[in-house]
Chain A
Amino acid sequence: MDPMAEIRLTFFQECEEQLTALENGLLSMQEGDSDSETVNAVFRAVHSIKGGAGAFKLNALVSFAHIFETALDRVRSGDMVPDADAMKLFLRAADALADLVAASRDGAVEVTAPYLAIEEEFNALIGGGGAAAEEDEFASLDFQPIITGFDEPPPPPPVAAQNLFTIRFRPLRELFAKANEPLALFRELARLGTLTTTCDIKNLPFLDTFDPEDSYLSWELRLETESQRAAVKEVFDFVEGDCDLVIELAQSAAAPTPPEEMDITAILRKVREEAPTIAAAAIAAATPTPEADAAPKAAKAAVQPTIRVDLDRVDRLINLVGELVINQAMLTQRVLHSSHVRDREVTASLEELERLTREIQESVMAIRAQPVRPLFQRMSRIVREVADATSKDVRLRTEGEATEVDKTVVELLADPLTHMIRNAVDHGLEGPEQRVAAGKPPEGTVRLAAAHRSGRVIIEVSDDGQGINRPKVLQKAIANGLVPPDTQLSDSEIDNLLFLPGFSTASTVSNISGRGVGMDVVKRSIQALGGRISISSAPGQGSTFTLSLPLTLAVLDGIVVTVDEQVFVIPLTAIVETVKHEPSRIHHLGDHSFVLRVRDVLVPLIDVGAELGVRAPASDLRSGVAILIETANGTRSALLVDNIQDQRQVVIKSLETNYMRVDGIAAATILGDGRVAMILDVDALVGPRHHDWAAAETPFAKAS
């Protein structure tokens, strides 16, 4: 990869982070957080994107970000207190900015109507004149990548009115650590006007105490320029917090312009607000000028350092640790089974080893664990879009965003969750008038909550809408031939009809939801993740969809069973109970079909051995253990196995990596003795026998 492309890639990666920070900040502003640090964070995010985009000559992005930034600057300076509409505009602009970033990354930038419309709205918000004035300031900014060389800046045009700024600038070591360069800043300043620099070296220590990575120099700069203070300050935006900076207007232009005053009062106000935090910064205290604009970030809570790691490396580590766990189990088993070693110390060491390996495994798994926050944030955008499209007033409440789940689970959840959120807004919530008529607040609420519960992640999507219209659902199911017309179904059975393939209650197909892909797709995706979905609903009060997902896709709890001397693992999540085997409870239906009576309920009894072709179908099932299972769609069956050996956590190994999908088998695992065992796919085992892919299977497979 050429270096520029790499830098570009990094820029877009950072854009993602900035966009997240932006949306975060805006959302907390919407919640009423008027803390200046929040506003600053929002501003910085847009500003950084603009800066980087300028370096890559992404002009559409730069100009949109600039207008956005201008509006935010008004908020930052306290000039404007954003009302609810303004906040909505900001959020929409953030969405548009995200789109523009994505489009710029893919190299398909066109300034289309939505962006222009938002730009218009911004102009209306901040006043047309303001925007025009800002435009000039913007034109003077030229984001040239610093690496392009040492071209002399163009000589500043001679002007009548000059401001004289004195700037005291002392970089901290963090500034250098972040690869910023005072020289580049000075060059940027020199672009604005005539710059004279005086370097102060009195803090330089003797060589024996000199730390090459520390910062000892400070500068006093005099800048004669026609630019305003904001433009001067902007030069230092990227090093804000990493330096001590005081900008003073020593001599203002002949006729000071009103915005200038505005700016100063705004800063004054800000200084008053931030006085306590600034007091912490010793330098700021040492130079108590009224305009002291000491770094507001100084007192910000330390951000935890992070590193970017290639996902492949993490996965390799996880695989290795998986092997370590297996090897440790094998070692333990062998040592304990060999008769001559019954040493207490050996046993103790083995236990210690087991504890350590388990701890390593958990820590490694934790690397892949990600909070669901970014996922939830994406949903807030979906809510906004669908609410706009359906003219509904919707608020998304999120809970438990810090809940951590395996990265893959988070990624694979995005689609089903999007679908559910769309459904909740589009079908679940009523329109404002209807809501008021029902005695509810006009603004609907969609709640998205995540929590850990007994080793699984529970995600709930609920709305306070009309609830499931059961008569309509049943009618539709009958009309679609999904259930016979005279069926009597319980409420929960009717609710579960929603999960049937091809079911869609929306009478008209809107472009938001109801495109024929319905909840059955959601359900299948959740099942593919080893999860379950359930639904509860109260008429007039809303519906709740509950997802229960495994924390990781790498391990699962299962019970180890034997069938004709072969070992299989049944996932614990599917198991309801084990049933005492009594021949009197088994009823023969002919054609090797059996049913088992469990507390007066008859469930199909499936001989796992015969089903998987391990042994010939038996005509009577006198021996073995029956395990009552529940499939993801709620139907119950019993599996007949020879013996139950053990219950344990097993590492999931793909069978498809080197072989192929096998009907009735979910994956493979490696047991403590180092041998491979198959993990049963319970749903496929008890489900109907006509899978699409079964037909596509090789004729060789059929022949056996």
Chain B
Amino acid sequence: MIEKSLKQQTREAEFVAFRAGSLEFCINIMSVREIRGWTPATAIPRAPSYIRGVINLRGVVLPIVDLGVRLGLPGTEPTARHVIIVAQVGDRAAGLLVDSVSDILSVEDTSIQPTPDVASQLARMFVRGVIAMDGRMISVITMDNVLPAGMDLEAA
């Protein structure tokens, strides 16, 4: 009983962990709507390089962000084994193209460390913090800045 109430005090959240390139990331499970396999996307003209295009998600036109490219890593050539994480960003939805989903983590708030200063300006835009766990380092992604800035302007 005592243990349980203690646990509730230090707030715990669940994160979906995934790989993009050689790195591990995670996002809060509450912003994940679904996880699906890769389907070819239709390119959007004049889109930033990290926007792979749009796919038809049950009648909804969904933009796909290549997370690796967004973080400045080399681009992925998606295959059927790649995964799209459909995430909610405010009142919009977007798909994140990643290599694979590894697991679901239960993490206490306190064990998320601030992003180290060495990280590049680009990475710091959407890495909210890092989790050190079993010798792995997992970056916690916030979806806010993953999409092009123009979208925020329009949403405002």
| Of B40, B49, B56, B61, the contact of A655 (CB 8 Å cutoff) | B61
Given A658-B92, A658-B93, A662-B46, do A322 and B59 touch, yes or no (CB 8 Å)? Answer: yes
| Of A654, A664, A674, A676, the contact of B46 (CB 8 Å cutoff) | A664
A612 at the interface (CB under 8 A from B): yes
* Cβ–Cβ contact A326 & B59, under 8 A: yes
Measured between beta carbons, the chain B residues less than 8 angstroms from A660 are 148, 150-151, 154
Best-surrounded residue of B41, B46, B147 (most CB of chain A within 10 A)? B46
Q: Taking the nearest CB of chain B, how far is it from the CB of A355, in angstroms?
A: 21
Interface size bucket, B side?
20 to 34
* Cβ–Cβ contact B92 & A657, under 8 A: yes
Q: Taking the nearest CB of chain B, how far is it from the CB of A534, in angstroms?
A: 31
B73 at the interface (CB under 8 A from A): no
Measured between beta carbons, the chain A residues less than 8 angstroms from B149 are 698-700
| Of B40, B49, B61, B153, the contact of A659 (CB 8 Å cutoff) | B61
Best-surrounded residue of B44, B50, B61 (most CB of chain A within 10 A)? B61
Residues of chain B from 31 to 54 with CB closer than 8 A to chain A in the complex: 40-51, 53-54
The total of chain A residues at the interface (CB under 8 A) is: 38
B123 at the interface (CB under 8 A from A): no
Given A662-B47, A703-B49, do A677 and B42 touch, yes or no (CB 8 Å)? Answer: yes
* Cβ–Cβ contact B44 & A665, under 8 A: yes
Measured between beta carbons, the chain B residues less than 8 angstroms from A676 are 41-42, 53-56, 61
* Cβ–Cβ contact B44 & A678, under 8 A: yes
Measured between beta carbons, the chain A residues less than 8 angstroms from B48 are 698, 700-701, 703-704
B62 at the interface (CB under 8 A from A): yes
B94 at the interface (CB under 8 A from A): yes
Q: Taking the nearest CB of chain B, how far is it from the CB of A329, in angstroms?
A: 12
**Bound Cα distance A695, B49 (Å):** 18
| Of A323, A657, A696, the contact of B58 (CB 8 Å cutoff) | A323
Best-surrounded residue of B40, B54, B151 (most CB of chain A within 10 A)? B54
Given A668-B54, A696-B150, do A653 and B59 touch, yes or no (CB 8 Å)? Answer: yes
A328 at the interface (CB under 8 A from B): no
A697 at the interface (CB under 8 A from B): yes
Q: Taking the nearest CB of chain A, how far is it from the CB of B10, in angstroms?
A: 35
Measured between beta carbons, the chain B residues less than 8 angstroms from A315 are none
A663 at the interface (CB under 8 A from B): yes
Measured between beta carbons, the chain A residues less than 8 angstroms from B63 are 658-659
Given A658-B93, A676-B56, A701-B148, do A653 and B46 touch, yes or no (CB 8 Å)? Answer: no
Interface residues of A (CB under 8 A from B): 319-320, 322-323, 326, 566-567, 612-614, 653-665, 668, 670, 674-678, 696-701, 703-704
Taking A698-B149, A701-B46 as known contacts, 20 extra A-B pairs with beta carbons closer than 8 A to each other, sorted by chain A number, are A319-B59, A326-B56, A612-B45, A655-B61, A656-B154, A657-B60, A658-B62, A658-B63, A658-B93, A659-B54, A662-B46, A664-B46, A665-B44, A668-B54, A675-B42, A696-B150, A700-B48, A700-B50, A701-B47, A701-B148
Interface residues of B (CB under 8 A from A): 40-51, 53-56, 58-63, 92-94, 147-151, 153-154
20 sampled A-B residue pairs with Cβ under 8 A: A323-B58, A326-B56, A566-B43, A612-B45, A613-B45, A658-B63, A659-B63, A660-B154, A662-B47, A664-B46, A668-B54, A668-B61, A670-B59, A670-B61, A676-B54, A678-B45, A696-B150, A698-B150, A701-B47, A701-B48
